[in-house]
Structure 1
């Protein structure tokens, strides 16, 4: 029995040993050799070629490897094939790309990296004599010092060398990831691409400049805080994208890498803070809660403080803080707009909400890409550009309608203080102010204007027979008659309980004044449906040619009104000329 047990134990040990030896023997077969780049044969009908699937990459975590060490150890480094728009981290290290290419001797080819915000981008290759050719670009250099100045890092490939040439691309950035497309372009294709993008970006940022200037002008002229906040938002939104796209470094400060670095650091925190202020101004969260209003101010201050910290220390942590607060701000903006829509306090809030939707949605894609949540794509790179083109005109139109509605309300409120509420005509003070300027103009031009005094002489009889409502209707009908008989810049006003005045602007002739007085009298004799049947208005009219020496506007009006008092109610002559 013991021998049997001992035999079983030996068999088990023998089986384990054989399994271990088999595993050890098979281990070398699991070794995956480093990938090798394909040799791209450039030229022919194709004006461009992508490096996706044709180049290999290796991430140097220390960032200390030199081109000599990379070339010497290229056969042992763990190269991998670069797939379409791969999302590779660069934080604190460097990404190396290697590819082989041949180009016809008569053609000029270039490598273009599809992003302008990497700190340092270098390309190496050996010429025919075996010497290293080094080209550099990136935000730490002035664009004017780049190997091929432009919006994007661009490098020239070997010229007149028919042999396959190995190219090495090194990308370094402390806080970004490498997700930009890399393509090879023939010279004419590169030129065409640059001309097209310059046209498109010119139109894009021209729109931003036009809207910003118009918004600022409206804000200053009408003292509208909403338009001022909107102009700041469009300025920082467009300016941030201007820097992010490389247009600012190319055209505004080609010799200022410090300015370019500062502009890049402001994005997206500064634009987000401006958006918060803009939405706060138009939604007015203080109406809901004072604490909520202070909370929005605190969030704006936190975003700006995080941006300032990121500018000073420039670490991955500080950038993550900015992005986190940006995400929180987008949530706050969405909440305020939704509340403004539901509240219904502002009639244009729905249009403003529709304008904000594209940017709020598209801003999530680059934010998620930077945080490593989604891979790079067209939406992550250009989605915000497309959304802004839709957003800015809609917001400007909504803000314009909002401003016009408020201006109309202000004008109506101002007019109510200077207008008779029953008839809608200007009251006595309004007429005196207008008459004062008319008299000054007439004296300066040595011309004459005229002033008519009009009284409803039978208004008391109307009130006694038909009641106060009929008397009020008679006043409204009289005002309507005076409006219809007034022409051009003439002005009718109610100056007493049953008295009106009509100012005829210069130049006037006595015949025209008499004709106008007759029209006024005749208009009152017409029957109107608004008045009781068979009721007509009896007008007494005084007419004067003015200015009269030594009489100001108030004295002139009083003189004309006093002339009405000298006309008896049963007078057969209904028109009295005072001075002609």
Structure 2
């Protein structure tokens, strides 16, 4: 029950995480910021060499070479090429603090050129090629703070370089609105990290409690995916590695790739016990490919390898869905939750992948769809893992019980019987008067089988076990010998009369009519008793002595109880 409540809390936390970006987006639509560019407030031109100076760019704009900036247009960045934007800022009547931001974490280099009294232009630099600690504003993505003066005539220039084609948007804020937006987004991302931390802690506890390694795989997967998402949103660069520009640029490719590889290992751990070697091998192969691509990002660089990442992610999606669908078909109670989680994260991740493949423009969903999908996936997979581990534990309990219990009668099996007898004989070395052993046989079992068949004979054995169990006390041992007899081990001290009464009650219960047996059929139980102190030394001799006694009783129809001297 506690685990279910924990999963419920995680689901509620995920819903709060999902609500935060919606609220932030709604607040944005109410005028806390504005887009610049779509309506003639910005011009753009391309510097194919990437070497032109600000003065040369200014001359080109003066000659009318610039075209209207379109935020949804994919710009041909990549290689040395750079995009220059000439921005016409809204006029102000008093000096106004502004923040101009390029809301694209991972942009290689962004430069802002503002009019300056001392020189032609005042330049500030940001982007992944520069340590976040050296950015003008330490933020999730490139942002520049400046004071706009009344009557500004000269334009502001924005220069953008990136490793592959991308669409470029910029936003203009008042300082107050920017700070409020920053608080909202940091709260959102902090809530996401808190959810991830709680999930990892829960997975570690579950791995230990359930003795199920799949929770460890899921914890590693969630941790890597979360840090990768923080890298993609810019939070990791701001707080985790603000002085390492190389890793800040590489992490946004390496960590998602490592997360995808761990996802395949997690799925393999899920299906490996289901007798599907093809699925296991496929997952291992996909994990190996992802690991190789991740290492290539580290040692070769982004540009030569980036083109392979999109196809790999799409292939991973297909494999995830295929294996999850197969698993849901085999084990729907668990598999449907797995399938729902996979669908959620894939639905969210497809937007940034399509953007990286230049198929869709930059938008809220291309920037944060993966985080939203992961926030939905986490509680769904936790529920699935809880159900799987509980089912696995129940199976282990059943298997363990089969190793101790006779499957037909429910009595302890022969191995348990031997262990209990060894314990009793060892205890009698300290207390010779403690314990009694009875051996019980159905004297007419062969007649019942001959007249009614094997099924009724087995029913008679079950009824005999019930008779014995109802007579003995809780804590005493009722076991079935491998030859079919029942062996009863009574703990404590008994007089001869007390043991005789127990035997007689047992015989009488067998002679009582039973609804599970054919009409008129009763059990003729034969009971041999070995009371302390035992004359036979050792378990084997004790059982042989009782077996000889109960066999003699079975051969004498008029006698049903005998004490072994």
Q: Contact 2:436/2:489 (CA < 8 Å) preserved in 1? A: yes
Matched, 1:49 2:45: no
Corresponding residue of 1:184: 172
- Name the TM-score, length of structure 1 as normaliser: 0.73
**Against the structure 1 CA distance between its residues 284 and 465, is the aligned structure 2 distance closer, same or farther, given a 3 Å change threshold?**
closer
1:147 to 119, 122, 136: 136
Report the 3-state secondary structure (helix = DSSP H, G, I; strand = E; otherwise coil) of the residue aligned with 1:363. Answer: helix
1:62 to 25, 38, 49: 49
Distance 2:55 2:320 in 1: 52
Q: Contact 2:196/2:223 (CA < 8 Å) preserved in 1? A: yes
Corresponding residue of 1:366: 352
Corresponding residue of 2:115: 126
Q: Contact 1:285/1:293 (CA < 8 Å) preserved in 2? A: no
Deviation at 1:435, TM superposition (A): 6.1
Deviation at 1:158, TM superposition (A): 1.0
Deviations 1:52-86 (A, max 9, x none): 43433333222223334434554235333334444
2:363 to 377, 383, 388: 377
Q: Contact 1:452/1:517 (CA < 8 Å) preserved in 2? A: no
Matched, 1:243 2:231: yes
Q: Which has the larger radius of gyration?
A: 1
Distance 1:486 1:103 in 2: 96
Q: Contact 2:345/2:370 (CA < 8 Å) preserved in 1? A: yes
Matched, 1:80 2:67: yes
Q: Contact 2:93/2:151 (CA < 8 Å) preserved in 1? A: no
**Against the structure 1 CA distance between its residues 330 and 224, is the aligned structure 2 distance closer, same or farther, given a 3 Å change threshold?**
same
Corresponding residue of 2:27: none
Corresponding residue of 1:4: none
Q: Contact 1:118/1:176 (CA < 8 Å) preserved in 2? A: no
Q: Contact 2:320/2:342 (CA < 8 Å) preserved in 1? A: no
**Against the structure 1 CA distance between its residues 296 and 498, is the aligned structure 2 distance closer, same or farther, given a 3 Å change threshold?**
closer
Corresponding residue of 1:463: 448
Corresponding residue of 2:517: 531
**Against the structure 1 CA distance between its residues 234 and 577, is the aligned structure 2 distance closer, same or farther, given a 3 Å change threshold?**
farther
Distance 2:60 2:200 in 1: 54
2:192 to 175, 195, 204: 204
Corresponding residue of 2:7: none
Deviations 1:423-447 (A, max 9, x none): 1322121233356678989999x9x
Distance 1:75 1:182 in 2: 22
Aligned 1:329-344 pairs, distance under 5 A: 329-338=316-325, 344=330
Distance 1:94 1:485 in 2: 92
Corresponding residue of 1:31: none
| Residue range with higher mean Cα deviation, 308-317 or 461-470 | 461-470
Q: Contact 1:307/1:322 (CA < 8 Å) preserved in 2? A: no
Q: Contact 2:250/2:297 (CA < 8 Å) preserved in 1? A: no
Corresponding residue of 2:438: 453
Deviation at 1:576, TM superposition (A): 6.7
Aligned 1:229-308 pairs, distance under 5 A: 229-280=217-268, 282=270, 297-308=284-295
1:355 to 341, 344, 350: 341
Q: RMSD value over aligned CA atoms?
A: 4.6
Q: Contact 1:451/1:560 (CA < 8 Å) preserved in 2? A: no
Deviation at 1:125, TM superposition (A): 1.9
Distance 2:240 2:410 in 1: 57
Deviations 1:186-227 (A, max 9, x none): 344333333332332233233344444555665677776755
| Residue range with higher mean Cα deviation, 567-576 or 275-284 | 567-576
Report the 3-state secondary structure (helix = DSSP H, G, I; strand = E; otherwise coil) of the residue aligned with 1:123. Answer: strand
Corresponding residue of 1:27: none
Runs of at least 5 residues in structure 1 that lack an aligned partner in the other structure: 1-44
Deviation at 1:372, TM superposition (A): 1.4
Distance 1:409 1:487 in 2: 29
Q: Contact 1:175/1:315 (CA < 8 Å) preserved in 2? A: no
Aligned residues: 527
Deviation at 1:529, TM superposition (A): 0.5
Matched, 1:389 2:375: yes
Deviations 1:2-41 (A, max 9, x none): xxxxxxxxxxxxxxxxxxxxxxxxxxxxxxxxxxxxxxxx
Aligned 1:454-533 pairs, distance under 5 A: 454-456=439-441, 458-460=443-445, 463=448, 466-467=451-452, 469=454, 470-483=456-469, 491-495=477-481, 497-502=483-488, 523-533=509-519
Deviations 1:85-127 (A, max 9, x none): 4432321222233232456768643223222211222323235
Runs of at least 5 residues in structure 2 that lack an aligned partner in the other structure: 1-29
**Against the structure 1 CA distance between its residues 423 and 288, is the aligned structure 2 distance closer, same or farther, given a 3 Å change threshold?**
closer
Deviations 1:250-296 (A, max 9, x none): 23223333332332231543333333444455456997886x97676
Report the 3-state secondary structure (helix = DSSP H, G, I; strand = E; otherwise coil) of the residue aligned with 1:157. Answer: strand
Q: Contact 1:432/1:557 (CA < 8 Å) preserved in 2? A: no
Aligned 1:540-559 pairs, distance under 5 A: none
**Against the structure 1 CA distance between its residues 457 and 413, is the aligned structure 2 distance closer, same or farther, given a 3 Å change threshold?**
closer
Corresponding residue of 1:431: 417
Report the 3-state secondary structure (helix = DSSP H, G, I; strand = E; otherwise coil) of the residue aligned with 1:396. Answer: helix
Structure with more relative contact order (C-alpha pairs < 8 Å, separation 6 or more) = 2
Deviation at 1:530, TM superposition (A): 0.5
Deviation at 1:538, TM superposition (A): 5.2
**Against the structure 1 CA distance between its residues 311 and 523, is the aligned structure 2 distance closer, same or farther, given a 3 Å change threshold?**
same
Deviation at 1:531, TM superposition (A): 1.6
Deviation at 1:333, TM superposition (A): 3.6
Matched, 1:172 2:158: no
Report the 3-state secondary structure (helix = DSSP H, G, I; strand = E; otherwise coil) of the residue aligned with 2:486. Answer: strand
- Name the TM-score, length of structure 2 as normaliser: 0.75
Distance 2:371 2:564 in 1: 73
